[in-house]
A and B are shown apart, each in its own frame.
Chain A
Amino acid sequence: MKSNPSRARTALRRLALAASAILFCQSFGAFAASPPEPAAQPDNAAILKKVEELEAKVQTLETRLSKYENAPPAPSSPLDRSVLTENLALENSPSAETATTPQLDTRPALFGLGYRSNAILSIGAYGELKYGAQQTPEGWRHGFDSGRVVLLPTFQITDNIVFNAEIEFEHGGIAVDADDKLTGSVELEQAYIDFRFNQYFNWRAPGVDVVPFGYINLFHEPTQFYSVQRPELDNGLIPTTWFEGSTSLYGKIVDNLNYQLQVNTGLEDIGRNGGVPDGPYDPGISGTEALGLARTPIGDFNQAKNALGYALRFSYTPPFVPGLAGSTSVFYTPNVTPRNAHSDNGGALGHSSVTMLDTELRYRVPKTGFEFRGEFVDVFLGSPGNLRANNDSDPADNVGDNMWGFSLEAAYHWDLKPRFKNGWELVPFYRYTFENLQTGGFAGRDENRPTGQGKRQFHTFGFAVFPTPQLVLKLDYQFALDDAPDSPKSDHFLGAVGFFF
């Protein structure tokens, strides 16, 4: 209790001392700032003015100091960045001015001074928007298709565990019933976790993934091909985008030779979701659609058969032919027949295997603009008598024991850099495609009267313009021919805007 008055006294003494000190300082400051003549005795107003000036100066200095104190610390990274401090900036600064006041980069720090190789969610995108005219039995139809816009999230969970996905909005991406007016779809085409062990051996955990078969099925961004539509072989013989529930091993065998081995849910011979109904149903494999409807659904355990599929793809870049790249793929499933499969007269359909082979080559002639591509696909149907298309009362969509096709393409890359500032590239191209979906070896309960529409040729030509490698503008014409005498013409004249970044 006693201490309170003494404390107050001490405080007062201190206050008085401080006041005298301030007064002394103020007077000194005023004197110092004044001319040395004793006649120039400052009045109170002048002192007050000086104090105000000093206060303003102190405030300015404080503001500047706090700016430096609150500046973000030099970022660090997993690599040896600790030494990257202002000393280095001084050492390397071009002028003395920057040496004494290091300039801070005020731009947003995307990766800091270095980078963070993990814990970054990256979202890429690709898409293609198409317009133009297509020939139908009723004449030419003009229209537009928001073909696809795809989001590609990737997240590096650790240095060697990576998540990848492809979320696709097709044809407008409105997922509603087919009999509604607006019928787009949203598809999950890829979603998987990769465990990267070393360059020879990596594991893709069970997820949704594209089947490693051919080239376009794996790499189908619009900047990878020059036509508006994907190459015709990928529109049935290979049911691109062919994705399945699957797991893979992949890696390098030796330099220039890689492998991917995938076990997946395989194909199924049913053209609808939800299993085989009691009555008629569409085939998954047919002489008109090839394997276009045979993809297995990825949702809700709705796969209609138990057998798995196996895909093995080797990709190579032979060093003795610089500029050449290619791949050879094989797919096999012991059975595509869904549970309870039946013919239209009620007879049960037994198992049928499917074996597929593909080889494709891409050759960019070094130091020239020429590029050549070729692909060959062969599909062997083990027991065609058990396939639904041969037992569905439709004599025109039957299949034999084999379907195949090939394509050859030539393109020229014309560098427009001398003419355009940003180095545009113009790529005229021509592609010939032949397909035979209805070869011999038919077996089944249907009558066999193929119309010839399974034997097709396509002449596709046009050009693609790349303002940057991430962007492509396309225009092409396609002659579509088949062997049916009354075959409806299905040429097209289409343009597209494609992007990938």
Chain B
Amino acid sequence: MLTNDRLHWLTPAALVMLSATPGYAVEYLSIEQAQRLCFPKADQFAASHIQFTPAQIKAIEAASGQKVLVRGEQVWKATQGGRLQGFFIVDYVIGKHLAIDYAVALSPDGAVRQIEILQYRESYGGEIRNADWRKQFAGKTARSPLALNSDIRNISGATLSCRHVTEGVKRVLATYELCLK
């Protein structure tokens, strides 16, 4: 009887659990896929992650004008036949409320090759995934203004995502200058 009662009570909960776990997550690109997209010729991606020291955090914050909320940065060195092709950096920013995972591919001299959005979780503002918006970052360096409505065009309706990704790229470029160069 007790078992039956429990089953009765648990059935709705189980149904909710089932409906709440669709089989796939909203991941646009995995890290590996993004690495291949950014460096199609590379034959190796060697993890070269950074853990910031407090002094580095201060320096990055001063150089980029952005708060550093992470303790380190995920960095891979892309090489082809042992020759450095560039850096692949995975970072995140908060859009309106939720994390936006994105990757920045840098050439060996620290200029942006491209950026890729890995995961976008907000309901609105996904337009930042559009290629024509992301294209604007190509060639930017730590010396670029990287300011919304200045050298980076805003997308009305996706303002917060645009602003925060722009700020994130600025921070990543400062990280390159201070920790990878």
Contacts and interface: CB of A to CB of B under 8 A. Distances in A.
Number of chain A interface residues as a range: 35 or more
A117 B121 contact: yes
Contacts of B49: 81, 83-84, 88
17 contacts: A88-B51, A88-B72, A98-B53, A111-B70, A113-B51, A113-B72, A122-B97, A156-B98, A160-B121, A198-B26, A199-B26, A215-B157, A219-B157, A317-B157, A322-B153, A323-B153, A364-B156
Interface in B93-117: 94, 96-99, 101
Contact of B97 (A75, A154, A158, A198): A154
Nearest to B30: A79
Contacts of B131: 255
Interface in B35-84: 47-57, 69-72, 74
Contacts of A323: 153-154
Contact of B47 (A83, A156, A159): A83
A122 B98 contact: yes
B157 A325 contact: yes
Nearest to B154: A364
Interface stretch (A89-97, A285-293, A329-337, A394-402): A89-97
A347 interface: no
A255 B163 CA distance: 20
Interface residues of B, number: 53
Interface string B154-167: 11111000010000
Interface in A262-321: 315, 317, 319
Contact of B179 (A75, A92, A115, A250): A92
Interface in A61-97: 75, 79-81, 83-84, 86, 88-89, 91-94
A197 B19 CA distance: 12
Contact of B96 (A110, A124, A218): A124
Contacts of A215: 157
B51 A84 contact: yes
Complex A-B, nearest 9 residue pairs according to Cβ-Cβ distance, in ascending order: A325-B156, A154-B97, A159-B25, A362-B156, A122-B97, A89-B51, A113-B71, A196-B26, A160-B26
Interface in A393-419: 413, 415
B101 A117 contact: yes
A90 to B, nearest CB: 9
A164 B121 CA distance: 12
B119 interface: yes
A250 B22 CA distance: 17
Contacts of B20: 157-158, 161
A152 interface: yes
Given A84-B49, A88-B49, A124-B97, A250 B71 contact: no
A84 B94 CA distance: 22
Nearest to B156: A325
B57 A105 contact: yes
Interface string A146-178: 000000101011111110100000000000000
A144 to B, nearest CB: 29
A9 to B, nearest CB: 57
Contact of A105 (B54, B126, B158): B54
A469 interface: yes
Contact of B127 (A84, A111, A317): A317
A152 B123 CA distance: 14
Given A84-B72, A111-B70, A160-B26, A79 B52 contact: no
A202 interface: yes
Nearest to A85: B51
B123 A164 contact: yes
Contacts of B25: 158-160
B130 interface: yes
A114 interface: yes
A159 B92 contact: no
Contacts of A258: 126-127
Contact of B28 (A113, A199, A366, A367): A199
Interface in B114-164: 119, 121, 123-124, 126-127, 129-132, 149-150, 153-158, 163
B179 to A, nearest CB: 6
A195 B22 contact: yes
Q: Which of B24, B52, B70, B123 has the most CB of A within 10 A?
A: B123
Contacts of B154: 323, 364
A105 B54 CA distance: 6
Given A117-B119, A366-B153, 20 more contacts: A79-B90, A81-B74, A84-B72, A105-B54, A112-B71, A117-B92, A117-B98, A154-B96, A158-B25, A164-B97, A194-B123, A197-B26, A219-B124, A252-B126, A255-B130, A258-B127, A317-B155, A317-B157, A322-B132, A364-B149
Given A92-B179, A317-B155, A117 B99 contact: yes
Contacts of B94: 122
A1 interface: no
Nearest to B93: A115
Given A80-B47, A83-B47, A115-B92, A317 B123 contact: no
A114 B53 contact: no
B121 A162 contact: yes
Q: Which of B22, B71, B96 has the most CB of A within 10 A?
A: B71
B45 to A, nearest CB: 11
Interface string B1-42: 000000000000000000011101111100100000000000
A319 B70 CA distance: 34
A93 B130 contact: no
A364 B149 CA distance: 8
A109 B71 contact: yes
